[in-house]
Structure formats: C-alpha cells, structure tokens
Amino acid sequence: MNPMTLMKLMQAKGAFEKEHPKFMAFLQAVFSRGITEDTVIEMTVTRPGEAPLTSNIKIKKADLELFEELKNLKN
C-alpha cells in the first residue's frame, strides 16, 4: 500500500474515533471478546424521514480469516 494513502487512512481513522467515541467503545467491547464463526452481526441505517433498513451477516470461517488479515495491517 502506498505510504501516503496509508497515512491518509490513519488520519481519517483518528478523526472518526474522535468524532464517534461511543461507537469506537462499542466496537472495542465487541471485538475484545473475539468474533467466532456463526456470530451474527446486524446493522440498521435510519435516514431522516425514511424507514430503517436492517441487514445482518452470519460470520463464516473465511470472514474470520479476512478479519485477521485486516488486523495485521496495523502492525
């Protein structure tokens, strides 16, 4: 990965964490216990004046492998 792109990404991550500390604390709580196969992750998006949209995924082994690769990016 391009070092400048990585630096921009890290700055954006820092700004996101500062702007949304409760969400980041939620993610830390979830991921600190680990995500296992068959865990269901659900997300709802509610736009002003619209009905909520909800979707979920059931984590598979390949997903866990992707999570590991993403974790290794920060090292």
Q: For the segment 14-61, what is each residue's pLDDT rounded down to a tens digit? A: 999 999 999 989 989 988 998 899 999 999 999 999 999 999 999 999
In this prediction the pTM is 0.62
Do 25 and 39 lie in one domain? The reply is no
Give yes or no: residues 14 and 41 share one domain. no
Same structural domain, 39 and 74: yes
Whether residues 1 and 14 fall in one domain: yes
CA distance 49 to 37: 36
> Distance between CA atoms of 21 and 5, rounded to whole angstroms?
24
> Are 29 and 43 part of one and the same domain?
no
Count of structural domains within the chain: 2
Task: Find the domain containing 12 and state its range.
Answer: 1-33
Q: Angle, to 10 degrees, between the axis of helix 3-19 and the axis of helix 21-32? A: 100
Residue 20 tokens, joined? 């949304």
